[in-house]
Amino acid sequence: MGRIETTFLDLAELKQKALIGYIVSGDPNVSSTLMAMHLMVEEGVHVIELGIAFSDPMAEGPSIQQGHERALSEKISLKATLKLVKSFREKDKKTPVVLMGYMNTFEALGSEVFSSTAKDNGVDGVLIVDMPLEASDEFTEESRKQGLDVIRLIAPTTTESRIKKICKQASGYVYYISLKGITGADSINPKEVEKKVLKLKKVTDLPVVIGFGIKDGKSASKVKDLADGVVVGSALVDIMGGNKEEIEKHLSIKIKDLSKALHKT
């Protein structure tokens, strides 16, 4: 059993929701990312999503765009991120790590090289934003061969028949995009989300997590009961881009707040 599956099973047994934290690898530098990963876990994050910086992050709002730009100015690469995960695994053998990014950087490394190195270094899943189901054959096959989970996105616009098709191909967990928009937007509508997630739950046995538009305990508590976990991105990336001396402090406060909200019943 992989780390992702184990983590969600353990949480389900405890009747707890998963807190998934997204930061950009190399933002503001590789050592800060490594520090932040361990700190996030310590304060209550269950799954880490590491953004892979791209020059043209089409689905991101201003916060995460800036995160990508900061990381690129530090010359981060997918290869360097794979090494970073290896370093993370020296101390943390348990927390799932998912790489999230755009097709072109993964293809540049090559799906075979990527998948095998990722597996060896302790990556658990991959989520490629601009790789919809129809465009993913080769990449998915290579990832599967290595036992990496290919995380799939479902959007508010995804039709029911498409949801079925996508869920058939998904593994790890299913990521529901809570709103029409880019990361960091805040127009989340819990009623709409509930309707869609209920439908989703009927189609898949995989854990369903909700992302986009969740930035603190308050927004997390509005949707937490609808699904198996929530993803927080822009709010954490803002902290990583803030005053370097205070990253630890602010990250710690933020995650405690989120964690508390998720535990409340």
Contact positions with another protein (CB under 8 A) in 186-245:
none
| Binding span for another protein by CB under 8 A among 39-47, 56-64, 189-197, 240-248 | 56-64
CB of 108 vs another protein, minimal distance in Å? 3
Contact positions with another protein (CB under 8 A) in 97-116:
102-109
| 20 contacts another protein (rule: CB under 8 A) | no
Pick the binder of another protein from 155, 193, 206, 232 (CB under 8 A): 155
In this structure, what is the dihedral angle of CA atoms 42, 118, 152, 194, given to the nearest 10 degrees? 0
Residue showing tokens 């876990």: 41
| Binding span for another protein by CB under 8 A among 20-28, 34-42, 58-66, 116-124 | 58-66
Contact 254, 216 (CB under 8 A): yes
Q: Give the chain's length.
A: 265
**Greatest Cα-to-Cα distance within the chain, rounded to the nearest angstrom:** 49
Q: Which helix (H) or strand (E) holds 81?
A: helix 78-91
Pick the binder of another protein from 9, 12, 58, 253 (CB under 8 A): 58
Q: Tell me the number of residues near another protein by CB under 8 A.
A: 42
When the beta carbons of 41 and 175 are compared against another protein, the nearer one is 175
CB of 107 vs another protein, minimal distance in Å? 6
DSSP-based three-state secondary structure for 149: strand
Tokens for 17, please give them: 């929701």
The angle formed by the CA atoms of residues 20, 129 and 28, to the nearest 5 degrees, is 60
Pick the binder of another protein from 11, 41, 64, 129 (CB under 8 A): 129
DSSP label of 53: -
When the beta carbons of 35 and 103 are compared against another protein, the nearer one is 103
**Closest residue by Cα to residue 118 from 234, 238, 2, 258:** 2
User: What are the CA-CA distances from residue 50 to residues 11, 67, 166 (Å)?
Assistant: 21, 11, 23
Pick the binder of another protein from 34, 35, 39, 59 (CB under 8 A): 59
- As beta bridge partners, residue 128 has 101
When the beta carbons of 140 and 158 are compared against another protein, the nearer one is 158
Tokens for 230, please give them: 């929530």
| 156 contacts another protein (rule: CB under 8 A) | yes
- Which amino acid, 45? V
CB of 80 vs another protein, minimal distance in Å? 9
| 181 contacts another protein (rule: CB under 8 A) | yes
**Closest residue by Cα to residue 42 from 21, 15, 71, 28:** 21
Site residues (vs another protein, CB under 8 A): 54-59, 61, 65, 69, 72, 77-79, 102-109, 129-132, 134-135, 152-159, 162, 166, 177, 180-182, 185
